[in-house]
Amino acid sequence: MTEPSGFLIGGDLAVQRLGFGAMQLPASPAAARENAIAVARRAVELGVTLIDTAYLYGAGANEELLVEALHPYPDGLVITTKVGVARSAATGEWELAGRPEVLRDQVERGLTRLRLERHALLQLHRVDPEVPLADQLGTLRELRDEGKIARIGLSEITAGQLAEARQIIEVASVQNRYSVFDREHEPVLDACTAAGIAFLPWRPVAGAGEEAAGGLPGEVAAVAAELGATPTQVALAWLLERSPVVLPIPGTADLAHLEENVAAQRIRLTPGQRGRLRVPAA
């Protein structure tokens, strides 16, 4: 298989450009957990070197699942997690939690759960509008200076927030929703491309399986038929060609889907096919 070129997150953390999002891996019941462990291990066998998780995914249960599946971690494997969301003591519902004491606690507990001495890449899951951004990022910068975080990333931010954040910290990555079907955050991707910041699109293939006679879903399906590929593979190939800073993190709990996703790395779109996968007219 022809591998896409790798990328250096933060200028020095080497990863392959197709990662894996672990959110869909269930921690229970037992049979589902066993399958989830097998999927995580197979992803690494197939050459995936970046796996994305978060405290939000089961209040740390997803992180613990990855430890069971992969620890001791192979050389070169990066487990990146996210903090900044917590359950409300009053309602039990998840809410944004960017207070310094919450971020510090989640970062330190994450190290324990993941059995790490330092987070290679730690991302703020969401910006808490009730806490000054300087306080949220300042806390993560302090933890970096203490050796608990190597690189800091952000998730679901605007171009304006990215510009503000870069005045406070060195931003290593951005994780926003983005795909061939959903380009709301195109300005953020363009800013990341210009600055050499890793862009990790989540939901990178959402909509690829939809049947449509026309419009963009139909065009993706048509290109897939021409290439002998699946619409999902075309959606991933488009992302890999969209910008050299893009690191898609498709997730699945199905081994066959995992194999399909990884095989997308060998798909190459022609200039004409790329031109057809444009933003459809309103």
Query: Could you tell me whether strands 152-155 and 122-124 are parallel, antiparallel, or unpaired per DSSP bridges?
Result: parallel
Q: How many residues does the chain have?
A: 282
Alpha-carbon gap, residue 249 to 118, rounded angstroms: 22
8 Å CB contact between 27 and 89: no
Question: Which whole number is the average pLDDT over 173-190?
Answer: 97
3-state helix, strand, coil in the chain (%, to 5): 40, 15, 45
CA distance 110 to 60: 8
Q: Among all chains, which residue has been given the structure tokens 């959606």?
A: 235
Is residue 178 among the annotated active site residues?
no
pLDDT at 69: 98
Assess contact for 174 and 163: CB atoms under 8 A: no
Q: Give me the mean pLDDT over the 40-62 stretch.
A: 98
- Distance from C-alpha of 17 to C-alpha of 251, rounded to nearest angstrom: 14
- Please give the mean pLDDT across all residues of the chain: 95
Q: Has residue 1 got a pLDDT over 80?
A: no
Separation between Cα atoms, residue 245 and residue 267, nearest integer Å: 18
Sheet of strand 50-52: strand arrangement: 20-21, 50-52, 78-83, 122-124, 152-155, 171-175, 198-199
Q: Please, what is the angle between helix 30-45 and helix 61-70, to 10°? A: 60
Q: Phi, psi at residue 149, to the nearest 5°?
A: -135, 135
Which SS3 state, helix, strand or coil, does residue 82 take?
A: strand
Strand pairing category for 85-87 and 94-96: antiparallel
Domain locations along the chain: 7-206+246-252
Return the pLDDT at 282.
39
Per-residue pLDDT of 5-19, as tens digits, reads 799 999 999 999 999
Q: Looking at residue 17, what is its pLDDT? A: 97
Q: What torsion do the CA atoms of 18, 21, 24, 25 make, to the nearest 10 degrees?
A: 90
- pLDDT over 70 (residue 218): yes
Residue from 55, 57, 73, 178 carrying the catalytic annotation = 57
pLDDT in tens, 82-140: 999 999 989 999 999 999 999 999 999 999 999 999 999 999 999 999 999 999 999 99
Are 66 and 58 contacting, i.e. CB atoms less than 8 angstroms apart?
no
Alpha-carbon dihedral of residues 49, 52, 55, 61, nearest 10 degrees?
-70
* 51 half-sphere exposure, CB direction, 13 A CA radius: 32
Residue 10: the pLDDT is 98
Question: And the tokens for 158?
Answer: 């605007």
> Tell me, what's the pLDDT at 214?
64
**What's the rounded mean pLDDT across residues 22-48?**
97
Is the pLDDT at 213 greater than 70, yes or no?
no
Q: Which of 278, 216, 269 is nearest to 240 (CA)?
A: 269
238-282 pLDDT, tens per residue? 999 999 999 999 999 999 999 999 999 999 999 999 999 985 443
CA Rg, the chain, in Å? 19
The residue with greater pLDDT, 15 or 1, is: 15
At residue 239, what are phi and psi to the nearest 5 degrees? -65, -45
CATH code of the domain made up of 7-206+246-252: 3.20.20.100
DSSP state of 179: B
The pLDDT, as a whole number, for residue 210 is 75
